[in-house]
Amino acid sequence: MSDAAGAARPAETDRDGKMGVDLFRIGGIQVAVDASWLVVFALVLWSLAAGYFPSQFPGRGWGDYIAVGLASTVLFFSSVLLHELSHAFVGNSLGEEVKRITLFIFGGMAHLSGEPRSAGAEFKIAAVGPATSIALGGLFLALEQLGGAIGVGDLWVAMLGYLGRINIALAVFNLLPGYPLDGGRLLRAYFWSRSGDLREATARAADWGAGIATGLMILGALQIFAGGLIGGLWLIFIAMFLRGAARAGHLSVVTERSLAGARVRDLMVENPITIAPGVALADAIQDTFLRHGFTGYPVVDDGKPVGVLSLSDVQRCPAEERGDKRVADFMRPLNDALVIGPNASAIDALHKMNENDNGRLLAIESGRLVGFLTRSGIARFTKLRVALEDAKAAR
Contact footprint for Zn ion (CB under 5 A) = 3, 129, 174, 182
Q: How many CA atoms lie within 13 A of 391 on its CB side?
A: 6
- Beta partners for 374? 360
Closest distance of CB 88 from Zn ion, Å: 10
Closest distance of CB 43 from Zn ion, Å: 21
Closest distance of CB 323 from Zn ion, Å: 49
Closest distance of CB 208 from Zn ion, Å: 16
> Do 382 and 258 meet the contact criterion of CB atoms below 8 Å apart?
yes
User: How many residues can be counted in the chain?
Assistant: 395
Closest to Zn ion by CB, 110 or 217? 110
> Do 119 and 125 meet the contact criterion of CB atoms below 8 Å apart?
no
Closest to Zn ion by CB, 88 or 157? 88
Closest to Zn ion by CB, 129 or 305? 129
- In 3-state terms, what secondary structure has residue 84? helix
Closest to Zn ion by CB, 88 or 340? 88
| DSSP state letters, 89-101 | HHHHHTT--EEEE
Closest to Zn ion by CB, 102 or 174? 174
Closest to Zn ion by CB, 129 or 209? 129
Residue 166: Cβ within 10 Å count: 21
**Set 12, 84, 270, 320: catalytic member:** 84
Closest distance of CB 157 from Zn ion, Å: 28
Residue ranges in the chain assigned as alpha helix (H): 35-46, 53-56, 62-93, 119-150, 154-174, 182-195, 198-225, 229-259, 264-267, 281-284, 290-292, 311-315, 327-330, 346-356, 375-394
Q: How many CA atoms lie within 13 A of 97 on its CB side?
A: 11
Closest distance of CB 168 from Zn ion, Å: 14
Cα separation of 178 and 196, whole Å?
19
321 carries an active-site annotation: no
> Do 220 and 239 meet the contact criterion of CB atoms below 8 Å apart?
yes
**Nearest residue relative to Zn ion (C-beta):** 129
Cis peptide before 305 (omega within 30 of 0): no
Could you list the active site residues?
A: 84
